[in-house]
Amino acid sequence: MWSILLYAGSAFGAGYATSLPMLLVLRCLTFVGVCVEFVAAVAWLAELFPDPKRREKVLGYTQAFSSLGGLMVSAVYTLISRYGADLPLIHGSHDPWRYTLISGLIPQSR
């Protein structure tokens, strides 16, 4: 539970960062929260499937599909860049990277 709160709170806070050091610390905390959650999820899946062959397939799919997150982030970032003007202002502007951080995604580019 604490790692989920760490991830969510730091991702939200990063969207409101006002300095580079603040952004760096909050993004590092987001990374820690994500890593802890991924390890917990993989451990839970390993315990959930007692059959070794099925467990290997499930863990393989989990790790393979976790890589698709980067593609999904790129698609969402593109949408936010295109339609960001319709979203509420953050610090008086419509910076797409702020919306992306608040959503919990990791922006691939600016």
Ranges of each domain in the chain: 2-102
pTM above 0.85, yes or no: no
| Residue type, position 93, single letter | S
pLDDT for residue 47: 94
d(CA 84, CA 13): 19
Percent of the chain residues topping a pLDDT of 70: 95
Phi then psi dihedrals of residue 93, to 5 deg: -145, 175
d(CA 44, CA 47): 5
pLDDT tens for each residue of 62-81: 888 877 877 888 888 888 88
pLDDT tens for each residue of 80-104: 889 888 888 888 888 888 888 888 7
Token pair of 88, please?
């509420």
Q: Are 41 and 61 in contact (CB under 8 A)?
A: no
